[in-house]
Structure 1
Amino acid sequence: MYRKKLWTGILSAVILWGAAGLAQPAEAASNNAIKVVVDGKEISLSTAPQIVKGRLMVPYSNVVTGMGGKVSWDAKTKTVKAVKDKNTVTYTVGSATAYINDQKKQLESAPVSINNTTFVPLRALAQSFGMWVKWDNAKKQVTIASKLTVQTKTGPLTLNKVPERIATLSSSDTEIVAALGGNIVGRSTALGKVYPPEAALIPEIGSAHGINFETLATLKADLVIGSPSLQPQTATLEKLGAKVLLNSHNDFKEIQNSIRLYGEVLGKEEEAAKLIKRMDEQLKQITASQPAKKPKALILYGATGSFVVALPSSYPGNFLDLAGGENVAAKFPKMDTMPQYAEFSMERIVAADPDVIYLITHGDPAEVKASFKKELESNPAWKNLGAVKSDQFEVLPNDLFAANPGLRAPEAITALNKLLLQAK
């Protein structure tokens, strides 16, 4: 099982609005400075929140009770216990080790006792009960929610707790969820390399084209992430006890939207924002180096005899545009079954006369290139194309193009950009 810690024990840096000017490691915030709201109701705090070493700490008794839980205190061991629904969380004053249902978890900030009141890290406490935590800097307000409704490609989805066991049915979703720290218990069947590499140990459950329901049932996933094409199977997936999030991303911005969405679902908005910022910075570097004149490019997906043509609305087509190329298939009619692609038409390709031709395949790149070269030599229609005359056809890296690369989109765009800059 691949798992990254879901615990941070801190709020985002914006919550530290008053921390920099504090003279002591722990100092009471103004009674009116920070509000804590649970499911729309403000919690009455007996003692003001404390900022301890840059982290917001709250009196555990008030907050746990406000979340609908029960609390207890063992003075001898300086241990506090919080119970809500089926979850039991135990903290010890001065220790960064906590226990959730007897499983050890490390906190980034240990509970403290100040003036006979025990304070615990707010985000860690709320997330241990599967609740979402958000900070409103304008209102100086922390909002804790036991439910979350998000908008998906097929409509609103309401979650009753932060997902703890996630199954992904696309490689790009696997990589995004892993980068956000989600606990992935099942992933899509790999067609090549697995990203991240450590996810190779996660059980395979098929793909959107065919789910292994038997394996999936054993994994006890509480959230399944798949494409909108799985909508007819939603009821079957829900019978396994999972919520179903249907989503897709066909271009750079949509990939970033997916990162943002999954960050919200996992209570990892800050981590999502960092990933998106990094992608933007990488793209900015790529777009700073563009061909003086955009080469006319054709992107073929598949194998000789069964090619389809990537349109600008597809992820390869979008990457081509961002890399500095002109897609000759921009006005080709889209397919009904694959609306981001067009059917292969020799007549249209000859009329478009591309400067470069790029191939995407799941097969061995060298074999595909050799096979395509034979096709060029045996089919007179190809010979008059500018790309063929100048020997400008390449097989794109299949680990970046055979499936949507998700987080690695900047790498894919970089690969195209380098080829376009080399075009004759």
Structure 2
Amino acid sequence: MRKSLLAMLIAIVMVLSACAEQPAKKEENPAASPETSEATAAVSDGVDDARVQEILAQFPESISERVATTSVPVAEMLHLLGITPVGVPTSTNPIPAAFDQVERIGSPMQPDLEVVTALKSDLLIGAESLRSTLEKTLEGIELQTSYLPTDSFADLKLSFKVLGTYFNKQEEMNTKLQSITDKEVELQKLTEGKELPSVMLVIGTAESFMVMSEKSYLGSLVGKLGADNIATSALKVTDTYSPINMENIVAADPDIILVLASGDHGATADKFNKEIEKNEVWTKLSAYQNKKIHMLDYSTFGVTSIINVEKALTDISQFFIDK
């Protein structure tokens, strides 16, 4: 009888011990899982890896050895990755000096087909926003093409990761993406807990001035820092660029107005000042009365640039921190 009781006691102890060990085993699995570690690393730069794979699907299976591009932002990315293309666009926007001797293939929208053909490129990379125009221009030419989004801050990081992954340049890619991410975190900490101002973004052409939404490059920088762009919150515009409606702007009364000034695009600072003189309604705005209308350099804030993006973020943040 005693032996039976002893055997039952031992069996119960063994069962309880097995149950106690089971939860501890489960807790170790997530931390030890290689898949979990990879997933954490993949999202640390804020880039959607599903989108990366989606865009990569349009690239050739083998790595291109003679790549050309019709996009200035893409030319910058290739430069940072240590890749020299056989052709770059002809543009008033600066191309990396390292590519001074690289063949110019014409405008981003209408490249010179004779030059493109002569280069014997095995891949032409263009801007997604110009895809339809480029495809019409290249109709009839047997050439592998891929397109990358380049309009916003998020687009820059996404497309850079696509190129870095495709060309197997992970070290260069990760170094730059980490630098950008570090800058984001640094600036977001500076504005953390602060009441950020409302902002209106203005760009001018030879004909008129327009309001910019968060879809614009400058708008995406402002949005990344957490400031309120009245184009979206108050004016409810849906297009990247919309006509100015002074009645609605007065009602929204932005704290700060940022104006992209560019002589090349017919919108100098002097022209904007004349616009204010013509319409005294501008003088009713808090931004005007508090001297919070700032002119921005188009080359830094009007053109998406992986090289200048950290400077652009830093410069924009100063308007919010020092408000």
TM range (shorter): 0.7 to 0.9
Code of the residue aligned with 2:294 in structure 1: it is E
Equivalent position amino acid for 1:281 in 2: D
1:293 — aligned with what?
195
- Residue 151 (str. 1) matches residue 54 (str. 2): yes
Q: Aligned equivalents of 1:333 and 1:204: distance in 2?
A: 41
Mapping of 1:304-323 within 5 angstroms? 305-323=207-225
CA gap of 1:232–1:390, structure 2 versus 1, over 3 A, is closer
TM-score of the superposed pair, with normalisation by structure 1: 0.58
CA contact (8 A) 1:376 1:382 kept: yes
Q: Is 1:176 equivalent to 2:46 in the alignment? A: no
Q: Does residue 1:384 correspond to 2:287, yes or no?
A: no
Identity of matched residues, %: 25
Alpha-carbon displacement from aligned partner over 1:256-281 (angstroms, at most 9, x marks no partner): 11111111221223321222111111
Paired residue secondary structure (2:100): helix
Change (3 A) 1:193 1:374: same
Give 1:164's aligned amino acid: E
Distance in 1, Cα, partners of 2:108 & 2:165: 23
- Matches of 1:270 and 1:303, distance apart in 2: 41
Pair 1:162–1:310, CA change in 2 (3 A): same
Runs of 4+ in 1 over 6 A off after TM superposition: none
Instruction: Sort the Cα spacing of 1:341 and 1:320 in 2 relative to 1 into closer, same or farther, 3 A.
Output: same
Whose relative contact order is higher, 1 or 2, with alpha carbons under 8 Å and at least 6 apart?
A: 2
Q: Distance in 2 between matches of 1:215 and 1:202?
A: 12
- TM superposition shift of 1:385: 0.7
Task: State which of 255, 271, 275 in structure 1 corresponds to 2:176.
Answer: 275
Task: Write out per-residue CA displacement over residues 309-347 of structure 1, whole angstroms, 9 at most, x where no aligned residue.
Answer: 221232211201233532111143546xxx433333222
Distance 1:351 1:209 in 2: 39
C-alpha contact 1:177 1:184 (8 A) present in aligned 2: yes
Mapped partners of 2:114, 2:263: distance in 1: 29
Structure 2 vs 1, CA of residues 362 and 197 (structure 1 numbering), >3 Å: closer, same or farther? farther
Structure 1 CA distance, aligned partners of 2:247 and 2:54? Answer: 42
In structure 2, C-alpha distance between the alignment counterparts of 1:394 and 1:186, rounded to whole Å: 37
Distance 1:280 1:242 in 2: 35
Letter in 2 for 1:360: L
Q: Find the partner of 2:254 among 344, 354, 358.
A: 354
Letter in 1 for 2:155: E
Deviation, 1:188, is 2.3
State the alpha-carbon separation in 2 of the partners of residues 333 and 212 from structure 1: 40
Tell me, in whole angstroms, the C-alpha distance in 2 between the residues paired with 1:165 and 1:238: 20
Asked if 1:370 corresponds to 2:273, the answer is no
Q: Can you list the C-alpha shifts for 1:62-119, whole angstroms capped at 9, x where unaligned?
A: xxxxxxxxxxxxxxxxxxxxxxxxxxxxxxxxxxxxxxxxxxxxxxxxxxxxxxxxxx
Q: Which has the higher helix share?
A: 2
The answer on whether the counterparts of 1:208 and 1:230 sit within 8 Å (CA) in structure 2 is no
Q: Which amino acid aligns with 1:328?
A: I
Cα distance, 1:239 vs structure 2? 5.0
Contact 1:227 1:247 in 2 (8 A): yes
Does residue 164 (structure 1) correspond to residue 73 (structure 2)? The answer is no
Offset from partner CA, 1:27-57 (integer Å, 9 cap, x none): xxxxxxxxxxxxxxxxxxxxxxxxxxxxxxx
Cα distance in 1 for residues equivalent to 2:252 and 2:148: 34
Counterpart among 205, 220, 223 of residue 123 in structure 2: 223
Q: Is the 2:153–2:304 contact (alpha carbons within 8 Å) kept by the matching residues of 1?
A: no
Tell me the CA shift for residue 403 of structure 1.
1.1
* Aligned 8 A contact 1:297 1:325 in 2: yes
**Letter of the structure 1 residue corresponding to residue 76 of structure 2:** E
> CA 1:267 to 1:237, structure 2 compared with 1: closer, same or farther past 3 Å?
farther
Distance 2:313 2:140 in 1: 40
Equivalent-residue separation in structure 2 for 1:319 and 1:277 (angstroms): 17
Query: What whole-Å deviation, never above 9, does each CA across 1:284-307 have from its counterpart, x for those lacking one?
Result: 222222283211111112236422
Say whether 1:397 aligns with 2:297: yes
The one-letter amino acid of 2:225's match is A
Work out whether residues 152 and 304 of structure 2, in 8 Å CA contact, stay in contact via their aligned partners in 1: no
| SS of aligned partner of 1:277 | helix
Taking structure 1 as reference, are residues 150 and 231 closer, same or farther at Cα in structure 2, changes over 3 Å only?
farther
| Alignment counterpart, residue 112 of structure 2, candidates 184, 190, 212 | 212
Shift of 1:234: 3.0
Residue 231 (structure 2) pairs with residue 329 (structure 1): yes
**1:211-260 Cα distance to aligned partner (Å, 9 max, x none):** 22233222222211112332354375375443111121333333211111
The answer as to whether partners of 1:220 and 1:241 remain within 8 angstroms in 2 is no
Question: 1:169, CA displacement in angstroms?
Answer: 1.9
Q: Residues 333 and 326 from structure 1, CA distance in 2 versus in 1: closer, same or farther, beyond 3 angstroms?
A: closer
